[in-house]
Amino acid sequence: MIGRQSSRIGVVVVICSGCAGANPANAPAAPSPTPTSTQTILATRAIPPNNLVAPIDPRAISLAGAPINPFGIVRSALDQGSGGHPGIDLPSAAGTPVLAVAAGRIVTVGQAEPYHLAGQEVRLLIGEGSEAGTGWVFLYTHVTLAAGIHIGTEVAAGQPFANSPLSPSDGNHFELAWVFNDFRVHQDRTCWVHQLNGAERTSFEEHFNTVLRIDPRFIDGWMTMTFDGRFAFRALLDTQLFPEGAQLCYPPGTDVRK
């Protein structure tokens, strides 16, 4: 069953006879109105899904190859004007289980870009919009679906439904967004780390803060990684600019290239 942020509203129907004037004396009291039907309010753009499960175990994140790419950072000219990097790229070993962040339904499966890297691009619908082809999806790129998983398959929160076919030299892209046009056009991208449930967020951020970001390989990766000949992440390590240190999520459009 697809996870929806929904509520139920009772619709009251009152049938009145002789409403033009006051009730005559000694008339029997009108019966209490009772709900006669309900209406479901579906997911809306204004409320991103929360209480999510992390798409991979944070302990599976590898620092042996590609650096972690955080949310919101303008890395190159391609990111300009679009709010920066729309998701988070997390490298891991080939075969790492990929988990459903919430109960939902697989709505698209295709070849992931860039095409020279292995794996599929999969959209999991976790909050259905009121119009067909709209809603909140979680995008997984460069993953391999497990046997029996395909478009239309419904999965449970936390269910391993795919794995990474990549080596740590490349990263899986994970993205939370509102979509339309048959689930393929993204907007209102949101940093999914902030939408994890309490325990999951604590675990994920604690591992990042106490293990990953203090590792010399992480620091070297952010110090040396370039896009279009410019350092996109180096200034993020400057504690005068960012006193809280390296983060997984930055305000959309953060541009510190130099």
192-247 tens-digit pLDDT: 999 999 999 999 999 999 999 999 999 999 999 999 999 999 999 999 999 999 99
Question: Considering its fold, how many domains does the chain have in total?
Answer: 1
In a domain, 37, yes or no: no
pLDDT of residue 2: 55
Confidence of residue 161 (pLDDT cuts 50, 70, 90): very high
Q: Rg of the chain's alpha carbons, rounded to an integer? A: 24
What does the pLDDT average to over 180-187? 95
Going by C-beta distance under 8 Å and a sequence separation of 6 or more, which residues neighbour residue 71? 84, 85, 86, 87, 88, 189, 191, 192, 193, 248, 249, 250, 252
Confidence of residue 31 (pLDDT cuts 50, 70, 90): very low
In a domain, 34, yes or no: no
In a domain, 31, yes or no: no
pLDDT of residue 155: 98
In a domain, 165, yes or no: yes
85: closest CA among 99, 110, 68? 68
- Which of 22-26, 64-68, 159-163, 196-200 is predicted with the least confidence, judged by mean pLDDT? 22-26
In a domain, 9, yes or no: no
The torsion defined by the Cα of 138, 55, 174 and 72, in degrees rounded to 10, comes to 100
% of the chain with per-residue pLDDT over 90: 77
In a domain, 32, yes or no: no
Give the CATH number for residue 147.
Answer: 2.70.70.10
Of 32 and 246, more confident: 246
Residue 70 has pLDDT above 80, yes or no: yes
142 close to 118: Cβ distance less than 8 angstroms: yes
**How confident is the model over 44-53, as pLDDT tens digits?**
999 999 999 9
What does the pLDDT average to over 177-183? 96
Q: What rounded mean pLDDT belongs to the chain?
A: 87
- Which of 21-35, 116-130, 224-238 is predicted with the least confidence, judged by mean pLDDT? 21-35
Give me the long-range contacts of 205-211 (CB less than 8 A, separation at least 24): 205/248, 207/58, 207/59, 207/61, 208/58, 208/248, 209/245
What does the pLDDT average to over 5-32? 40
pLDDT of residue 151: 98
Cβ neighbours of 97 (radius 10 Å) = 17
Residue 28 has pLDDT above 70, yes or no: no
pLDDT of residue 16: 37
In a domain, 13, yes or no: no
In a domain, 247, yes or no: yes
Range of the domain at 64: 58-254
User: Which of the 8 DSSP states describes residue 239?
Assistant: T
Residue 81 has pLDDT above 80, yes or no: no
Reduced to 3 states (helix: H, G, I; strand: E, B; else coil), residue 97 is: strand
pLDDT of residue 75: 95
Write out 135-178 in H/E/C secondary structure.
EEEEEEEEEEECCCCCCCCEECCCCEEEECCCCCCCEEEEEEEE
Cβ neighbours of 172 (radius 10 Å) = 27
What does the pLDDT average to over 147-161? 98
